[in-house]
Amino acid sequence: MKISDLKLTVVGIPRHTGFVSKHVIVEIMTDEGVTGIGEMSDFSHLPQYSLDVNDLTTVLKTILVGKNPFDISLINKELLSNFPEMMFYYEKGNFVRNGVDAALHDLAGKLLNTSVADFIGGRVKDKIKVCYPIFRHRFMEEVEENLEVVRTRFKQGFDTFRLYVGKNLDADEAFLDGVKSEFGSKVTIKSLDFSHLLDWKQAWQATKRLSKYDFELIESPAPQNDFEGLHHFRLKVDHPISEHVWSFRQLNQMICHDSVDIFNISPIFIGGLTAARKAAAAAEVAGKGCLLGTTQELSIGTAAMAHLGASLTNLNFTSDPTGPELYVSDIVKNPVKYENGYLLVPERDKPGFGMELDWDLIEKYRVPDLSWGSISVHQLQDRTAQTKA
Provide the annotated binding site for substrate. 15, 89, 294, 383
CA atoms within 13 A on the CB side of 170: 5
Separation between Cα atoms, residue 319 and residue 77, nearest integer Å: 28
Provide the annotated binding site. 15, 42, 45, 89, 193, 219, 244, 294-295, 383
Beta strands in 165-236 (DSSP E): 188-193, 217-219
Smallest Cα–Cα separation from 210: which of 182, 183, 170? 170
Provide the annotated binding site for Mg(2+). 42, 45, 193, 219, 244, 295
Distances from the Cα of 79 to the Cα of 15, 59, 101, 240, angstroms: 31, 10, 9, 34
Q: What is the DSSP string of 42-111?
A: ---SSS-----HHHHHHHHHHHHTTS-TT-HHHHHHHHHHHS---S-TT-HHHHHHHHHHHHHHHHHHHH
What are the catalytic residues?
90, 164
Q: Do residues 19 and 12 make contact, with C-beta atoms less than 8 angstroms apart?
A: no
Work out whether the CA dihedral 265, 267, 268, 270 comes out positive or negative: positive
Burial pattern 131-142, b for ≥16 Cβ within 10 A else e, equals: bbbbbbbbeeeb
Q: Which helix (H) or strand (E) holds 294?
A: none
Q: DSSP code of 155?
A: H
Strand partners, 191: 162, 217
- Around Cβ 52, how many Cβ atoms within 10 Å? 12
